[in-house]
Amino acid sequence: MHSITLRSPAKINLGLWVGARRPDGFHEIITTMVPLEFGDRVTVKRAETGIKLKITGIKLNIPANNNLAYRAAELFFKATGINAGCSILIHKRIPPGSGLGGGSSNAAAVISGLARLYDRSLNRTRLRNLALQLGSDVPFFLKGNPCVARGRGEKLRPINLPRLLVLLYCPGFSIATAWAYQQLDRTRRNLTAPLISPKILGLKLRRKELAGVAAQVYNSFESVVFLKYPELARIKTLLLNRGAYAASLSGSGSTVYGLLNVPDPMAELINSGLPWILTRSRPSVRLAGLGRWRKPHLRRRIGH
């Protein structure tokens, strides 16, 4: 095999509780992460030496060697001792700094693709350890299934969820995760116990008890992000008023999403010219072994 093309899905957080800062600088979190049909496309090709990275679609204003996908390739060759290289082509649609995990997803796709291209029998533990060196979310994207994440995000447990219809609002600006954590640490006076339960969330979604889902997608970052960006708070209210049974910030932002029963009540929003993306959560599959990428059948995007 000379090259491989993989889906690189976006994700949303169904609830995100941020706890205390740990001695290692990370924070304890509890969240349910769900991969989406909407995402990027990553092609990895063999090369005799060196690493080349090309990005089409959304342009990123960072040097190639600071890109997580590039760093993933560097780490793979260093860890495996393989004397070779690769070229990476990313068709980018996930906005950077949007809370949708685009960089982490790209890195996971590169690790998975290189493992297959070079027929390296890396077990799950080694792949996970490589992924964790790149970022807390990268191991999740290697799994490719909805997962409950705890610790700094590296303690993953698969969770059975029905497929979800999701409407994303991507406002066109990014929010730095480091800034969001700093603001939480600076402004919080009393740290509350977790306000969400992934177990209850999963039960309510599977039983279609949708009235109780909204409380379970509480996101700790909303207190600081909505204060600085009140338009995002208005978007959340708008989604709920238009028929979403739950709405929340994804990650530390800037994306706000709504969970829908059917898209019809949101038709006016979707066609309004704002940066809306209609998509679904992905069925449970592993990232490795997907091969050919296909467009999500439900995705519609208005604006840029």
Active site residues: 11, 137
Residues with Cβ within 8 Å of residue 140, at least 6 apart in sequence: 11, 33, 101, 104, 108, 147, 149, 153, 156
Closest CA to 101 of 225, 252, 224: 252
Using CB atoms within 10 A of its CB, is residue 227 exposed (0-12), middle (13-18) or buried (19+)? exposed
Q: What's the CA gap between 132 and 108, in Å, rounded? A: 10
CB contact at 8 A, 296 and 37? yes
